[in-house]
Each structure stands twice: as structure tokens, then as C-alpha cells.
Amino acid sequence: MLAAVAASLLAAQDHTLGYDDTPSYPGSKWRVHDSKRPRPEAITPGACNAQPVKPPSDAEVLFDGTSLEKWETKGGAPTWKVENGYVEIVPGKGDLVTKEKFGDIQLHLQWRTPSEVSGKSQGRGNSGVKLMTLYEVQVLDSYDNPTYADGQAAAVYGQHPPLVNASCKPGEWQTYDIAFDAPKFDGDKLVRPGYVTVFQNGVLVQDHTEIWGETLHRQVGKYSPHGDMPLLLQNHGNPDRYRNIWIRRLKPVE
């Protein structure tokens, strides 16, 4: 009897599929990382292992496969591994942050998780694209990998699952095309929240999705006033790779 109770308690503490003790965002029926939230349908995208595309003429190339001169880490010069046209996360060596700051943007990048699967749930190929260092589009090996819905690849982390799970197999290159409307502030007042549109491997997975504040683990994020800020690639301890990173600054049509 005691063994059965202990096993039940251990099972209750397995957070592979989420949590049942986290807060909810105002107006949402789901908790942050809710274990009961439905997972998006998995589909097979048509653009796995896509070849790098040439940037448009008005784009700024952030990583061309050879140099991290436009990036830094908290400790100074970045020490992620650069070889064969990609940059690979080195566990323990900090996040990669752009030296320049950005507002409204179009962002293109490719990423891949390790071909050899290790770990489960959030422990498989975890990284993230943090817009303005605050608002995360999740990077994860979500191919046949049960995890909480708002933590899957292409989720607005902790807030919005992707419309579908458009993940490629582990070890295959995947593509994000992201349009980001930055939040706007008037002094301390939020005038307009941020919005993000994401295509993963050519599939629409976030459709002008409202961002509810800073994306956090197990917490409800809030907005704090800020201006333009850098782009951040998260080091979560998994040796993911990135390549073909370019960005366009978006200007309103007059």
C-alpha cells in the first residue's frame, strides 16, 4: 500500500506534460504550462532540411556562418562553437545576444537539435529565440516528444501553443520566419502589446498572436516599459545549432 502511494506521488511530480499548480493569465482558462491543455496536432511539413536562402537587399546578416562579430555574451566575447557554416551552443557559455538593438522586425533563421536524442520533454534540444531578450519563441525537439502545449517548438513560451506541431525530425534543419510588432509604451503605460507571426518550416504556426508580457517559466509575465532591445539566442544547455540568421527592420508605411 505504501509503495503504491509513493509511486502515485512520484507520478504526480513528473512534470513532463506540465503542471497543475501554476497561475493563469487574466482571461485564460489555462494555467501556465497546464498539463491538461490540448497538444497541437502534429503534421509533416514540406520544408525540412531546407537550403539557406539569400537575404533580401535591405536585410542585416547577423550570422553568415563564419563570424560572431555581431554578437556578445554577458561575459564578453562569445565562445559558442563556429564551424561548417553553423554556430553550436556550448553548454555553460551563456546566451548569445546581438550587439545592436531592434524594434519591429522580420527575422529569418535556421536551427537544428541534436540527431542523437537525449532526454525528454523540455530536456530535448531546448533553446529559444528571445525577441528583445524578453519574449521567447520556443526552440525544442518537438518531434514525437510529449511536453506541455505552451512549451512546444514555435510556442510563445508559457502563453500560446503553436497552431500545429510542424516539427522536423531530430538532426534536420528547421526554419523560423518571424514577424514581430514590438510593444509600445507611453511613459510607464502600455499603449499596444507585442504581436508575433511565426512560420515554422513554411507552416503558419503563430498568426499575429498577442504577447501577454515577458515569457517566463511557471510564472505570469508582465510588461515593463522599454525601448529597442537586442535579439537573444538562449543557451539552455543543449548543443543546438543555428545558421543563416538575418533580420530586417520594419518601418511603418507613411
Whether pLDDT at 137 is above 90: yes
Whether pLDDT at 56 is above 60: yes
For 233-253, what is each residue's pLDDT tens digit? 999 999 999 999 999 999 877
**Confidence grade of residue 134 (pLDDT, cut at 50, 70, 90):** very high
Whether pLDDT at 9 is above 70: no
For 88-98, what is each residue's pLDDT tens digit? 999 999 999 99
Q: What is the pLDDT of residue 71?
A: 98
Q: What is the pLDDT of residue 103?
A: 98
Q: How far apart are CA 191 and CA 158, in angstroms?
A: 23
For 143-173, what is each residue's pLDDT tens digit? 999 999 999 999 999 999 999 999 999 999 9
Q: What is the pLDDT of residue 8?
A: 45
The full set of domain ranges for the chain reads 95-254
What distances in angstroms separate CA 213 from CA 13, 132, 160, 201, one per listed residue? Answer: 28, 12, 12, 26
Q: What is the pLDDT of residue 135?
A: 98
For 31-48, what is each residue's pLDDT tens digit? 999 999 999 999 999 999
Give domain 95-254's CATH superfamily.
Exo-inulinase; domain 1 (2.60.120.560)
Q: Which long-range contacts (CB under 8 A, 24 or more apart) does 49-54 make?
A: 49/168, 49/172, 49/173, 50/110, 50/173, 50/175, 50/201, 50/202, 52/85, 52/110, 52/243, 52/244, 53/108, 53/244
User: What percent of the chain shows pLDDT beyond 70?
Assistant: 94
For 181-216, what is each residue's pLDDT tens digit? 999 999 999 999 999 999 999 999 999 999 999 999
